[in-house]
Each structure stands twice: as structure tokens, then as C-alpha cells.
């Protein structure tokens, strides 16, 4: 593959993927990104200009998408509205980008017969009980909970339909929770790290018992790169690194690593409809493509991530205040809605 279009390449996982491909191949990359609040061109700083080009634009713009897809050998589709909390307050952009945007790309790869890889999430499967030994597999029925995860589920189904109905050469992957450098400060791990670095207390939703299956973003990138080259068209691959931890444990590790007391956090109102537990069985990817994660020590990965946020204040500081202000507004809206519903609901 010589030329790849990466949608959402100025976002967290997309930018890390671009860095991974530049370091591990000879391919050149065109990034298309609308630079929403979550996109940051600085995440691509330092990459060779002769191999990485940024086109600012929206994936729902059919004319632009057709032009860009016509110039590449493959598309890797990361662009999305990605934050559950935002989807609970304003679902409309999620429907537009995640569903209409994916549809727009599918029509273009269909016209140009271009290889397509769709990036999705384990959240399409809903959640598991805390004490259930089960993990998600490729055959787990879809059961999404939030506006975010339901739009991702819809996008997965569109991809499958375009494979079956129109012969589009697509693969899909559903990955667990990523962490690492360049992650927006709205997300759990960077929010807590940057709060502590700013002298503010971390915020834990509810009891903190909810479990997420953490994977380092570089392991996600290596898995996607394998699937893009050796995956079977039409197939779905689950990506995970056996990294289950509850939120409280993760927060305590961050507090330890930053030299704070383990109870130096605020327990705040729980997320409505908060999924209890995600867990991925990545056995197929390991067996069929021989993929292995390289960063399974979560404490070591968190230490590396903390060091990155310490050293790169310039990258996250401009979005920190605005993000925390948005959380305050969301909390107020939540309280007003609860009051309007009244007692007994
Ligand atoms: P992110 O929010 O950090 O980045 C999303 C990027 O998409 C941003 O750069 C944004 O500007 C861009 N974008 C949004 N709407 C656009 C539009 N209409 N047109 C063009 N660009 C647009 O998200 P992320 O965490 O990097 O997630 C990337 C992908 O991976 C998403 O598809 C998400 O569903 C999936 N995923 C994320 C995780 C995770 O833990 N973060 C886990 C599994 C899957
Ligand atoms: O301040 C917080 N406190 C807190 O306790 C925040 C922001 C989150 N949480 C909890 C909620 C979740 O149980 O931490 C956990 C992780 O939260 P997020 O970082 O918002 O991630 P999550 O909702 O699990 O979804 C993530 O993983 C799957 C990504 O945002 C999705 O894009 C991906 O599909």
C-alpha cells in the first residue's frame, strides 16, 4: 500500500496510527479531518511533510471525499464523534459524523473500488455484568447503550451491508478502551492526570467499580496495520490486550504514580446509563494474524503517559479549561432535567 487516506488523523488514535505507519512502512498518508474540538493538527507535528499531508474537511462532504478517495489505495476510517458524555447531551453530531460520514465514505470506496478499514468500538456489544466471566467475541449480539455506541453500531452495520450488497473490500475492527499520548483531556485517564498536574482533584463517576479493558494506543495501531495488510475482506476483528481494570484501580495507580494520596479524588454523579464492564476476547486476531500486544503492563504505560502529559503541557493546556467548563454545564443540565422529572422517577 503506497498511499493511504486516514480519516480523523488529527484525533487521538488517528494521529498515533499515522505516526505508527510512518515509522513502520514506506507508505504516504493523506489525513482528512474537520478539526472539531477533538482534532488538533499539532498532534501531527514533526512528521515528514513529503509523506503526511493534512486536508481540513468534513467526511460528510461527498465531493471532497470522492476526490480524496480517488487518489489512494486504501482508507482507514477513524473520524468520529467519540465521547459518550457529549452524546448524552447533544446526539445530533454523532448521527451526522458517525452514520452519514461513514455512508459517504462507503459510497466513495464503492465507486473507486478502494480497500476500506472501519475502526469501531467494543461498546457496540453493550456491557457485561461485573461478575460474568464472559468476554465479547465476533459473534456477541449488538446491544449498544448510548447515543455514541448506537451510532457506531449503525456504522458497522452499514459497512457489512456495503460488503455484502456491493462487494466493497472492507474489514472492521472493534477495539477496547485506548490510552496513551495525544488523547483529548475530556477522556478518563488524561482528565485525571491533567487535573492532578493542575492541582485539581480527579473526578470519579459513581463508585468507580465500572470495568474497562485498557489497551495502549500503539497496540491498537499495530493490530489495525496487520488487519489492513493481511485481514480477510468482510471480516470483523476484535482488538484487546487483556487489560481489565476498574476505574477506581486505574485512578489509584495514577494517584500513586503522581505521589498523591490514593483517596485524593472526588466521587461525582454517575454517568446516566453507565456501562458496567467491557472485556474483549482477541483470540481470533492472535491465532489468525499472529498479532501480539507489546504494552501489557498498565502501570508502566500509565507512567509513560503521565510523563508525556507532564512534558507536553503546551499540547493540552489550551483545551483544558473549555473541557472542564463543558463538564460543569453538562452536570447543571443533568441536575435541571432530574429536578424537572420530579420525585418518584
Ligand atoms: P477523537 O475524538 O480523539 O478523534 C476524532 C477525530 O475525528 C478528530 O480529529 C475530529 O476532528 C475528527 N472528526 C470528527 N468529526 C469529523 C467529520 N465530520 N469529518 C472529519 N473529521 C471529523 O477520537 P479517538 O478516541 O481517536 O477515536 C477514533 C476512532 O476510534 C473512533 O471511530 C472511535 O469510535 C474509535 N474507538 C475509540 C476508542 C477509544 O478508546 N478512544 C476505542 C475503540 C474505538
Ligand atoms: O471524569 C471521568 N470520570 C470517570 O469516572 C470520566 C471522563 C470518565 N469516567 C469513567 C467512565 C468510564 O467508565 O471512566 C471510564 C472511561 O470513560 P471514557 O474515557 O469517557 O471512556 P468510555 O466511555 O469507556 O469510552 C471510551 O472507550 C470506548 C472511548 O471514549 C470511546 O470512544 C471508545 O469507543
Q: How many CA atoms lie within 13 A of 269 on its CB side?
A: 13
169: in domain: yes
Say if 107 falls within a structural domain. yes
Using CB distances shorter than 6 Å, the residues near ligand 2 are 82-84, 121, 123, 177, 187-188, 191, 203-205, 210, 212, 247, 271
Residue 114: inside a domain, yes or no? yes
Q: Indicate which CATH number applies to the domain containing 41.
A: 3.40.50.720
**Segment holding 117, helix H or strand E:** strand 115-121
Is the pLDDT at 233 greater than 80, yes or no? yes
Domain encompassing residue 107: 3-183+214-239
Report if residue 209 sits inside a domain.
Answer: no
Predicted confidence (pLDDT) at residue 159 exceeds the cutoff of 60: yes
**Nearest-angstrom CA–CA distance, 132 and 129:** 5
Is a pLDDT exceeding 60 seen at residue 182? yes
**Are residues 241 and 203 in contact, defined by beta-carbon separation less than 8 angstroms?**
no
Q: What is the mean pLDDT of residues 192-211?
A: 98
Show the cell assigned to 76: 482507514
Q: How confident is the model at residue 339 (pLDDT cuts 50, 70, 90)?
A: confident
Asked whether residue 95 is domain-assigned, the answer is: yes
The pLDDT value recorded for residue 343 is: 63
pLDDT at position 337 is 85
Question: pLDDT-based confidence at 289, cuts 50/70/90?
Answer: very high
Residue 257 within any structural domain of the chain: no
CA of 166 to the centre of ligand 2 (A): 35
Confidence label for 342 from pLDDT (cuts 50, 70 and 90): confident
Exposed / middle / buried, residue 315 (Cβ in 10 Å: 0-12, 13-18, 19+): middle
Mean pLDDT over the full length of the chain? 97
Q: Which of 20, 2, 4 is nearest to 223 (CA)?
A: 20
Q: Per-residue pLDDT for 344 more than 60?
A: no
Domain count, the chain: 1
- 42 has pLDDT over 70: yes
Residue 219 in any domain: the answer is yes
Residue-wise pLDDT for 51-64, tens only, equals 999 999 999 999 99
pLDDT at 48 over 90: yes
Closest Cα to atom 4, ligand 1: which residue?
11
Pocket residue to mutate for ligand 2, from 16, 77, 84, most atoms within 8 A of Cβ: 84
72 SS3 class: coil
pLDDT score, position 335:
86
Predicted pLDDT at 345 = 46
- Alpha carbon distance 141, 195 (integer Å): 37
Q: In this structure, are residues 254 and 208 in contact, taking their beta carbons and an 8 Å threshold?
A: no
Domain assignment present for 24:
yes
Query: What is the average per-residue pLDDT within 188-209?
Result: 98
Amino acid at each position: 500500500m503506497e498511499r493511504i487516506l486516514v480519516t480523523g488523523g488529527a484525533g487521538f488514535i488517528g494521529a498515533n496510527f499515522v505516526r505508527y505507519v510512518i515509522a513502520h512502512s514506506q507508505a504516504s498518508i493523506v489525513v482528512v479531518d474537520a478539526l472539531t474540538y477533538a482534532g488538533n493538527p499539532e498532534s501531527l507535528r514533526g512528521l515528514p511533510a513529503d509523506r503526511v499531508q493534512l486536508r481540513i474537511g468534513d467526511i460528510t462532504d461527498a465531493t471532497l471525499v470522492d476526490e480524496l478517495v480517488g487518489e489512494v489505495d486504501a482508507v482507514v476510517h477513524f473520524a468520529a464523534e467519540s465521547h459518550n458524555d457529549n452524546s448524552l447531551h447533544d446526539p445530533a453530531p454523532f448521527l451526522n459524523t458517525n452514520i452519514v460520514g461513514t455512508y459517504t465514505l462507503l459510497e466513495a470506496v464503492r465507486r473507486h473500488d478502494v480497500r476500506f478499514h472501519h475502526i469501531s468500538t467494543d461498546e457496540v456489544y453493550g456491557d457485561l455484568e461485573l461478575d460474568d466471566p464472559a468476554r465479547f467475541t465476533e459473534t456477541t449480539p449488538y446491544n449498544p447503550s448510548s447515543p455514541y455506541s448506537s451510532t457506531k453500531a449503525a456504522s458497522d452495520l452499514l459497512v457489512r451491508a456495503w460488503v455484502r450488497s456491493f462487494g466493497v473490500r472492507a474489514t472492521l475492527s472493534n477495539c477496547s478502551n485506548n490510552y496513551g499520548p495525544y488523547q483529548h483531556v475530556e477522556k478518563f485517564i488524561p482528565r485525571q492526570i491533567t487535573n492532578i498536574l493542575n492541582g485539581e482533584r480527579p473526578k470519579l463517576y459513581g463508585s468507580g467499580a465500572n470495568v474497562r479493558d485498557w489497551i495502549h494506543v500503539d497496540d491498537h495501531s499495530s493490530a489495525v496495520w496487520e488487519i489492513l495488510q493481511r485481514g480477510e475482506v468482510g471480516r470483523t476483528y476484535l482488538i484487546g490486550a487483556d487489560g481489565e481494570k476498574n476505574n477506581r484501580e486505574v485512578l489509584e495507580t495514577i494517584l500513586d504514580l503522581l505521589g498523591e494520596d490514593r483517596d485524593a479524588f472526588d466521587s461525582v454523579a454517575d454517568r446516566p446509563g453507565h456501562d458496567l464492564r467491557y472485556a474483549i476476547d482477541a483470540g481470533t486476531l492472535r491465532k489468525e494474524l499472529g498479532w501480539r500486544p507489546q504494552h501489557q503492563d498498565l502501570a508502566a504505560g500509565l507512567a509513560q503517559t503521565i510523563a508525556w502529559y507532564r512534558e507536553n503541557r503546551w499540547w493540552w493546556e489550551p483545551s483544558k479549561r473549555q473541557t472542564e467548563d463543558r463538564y460543569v454545564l453538562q452536570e447543571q443540565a443533568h441536575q435541571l432535567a432530574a429536578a424537572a422529572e420530579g420525585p418518584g422517577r
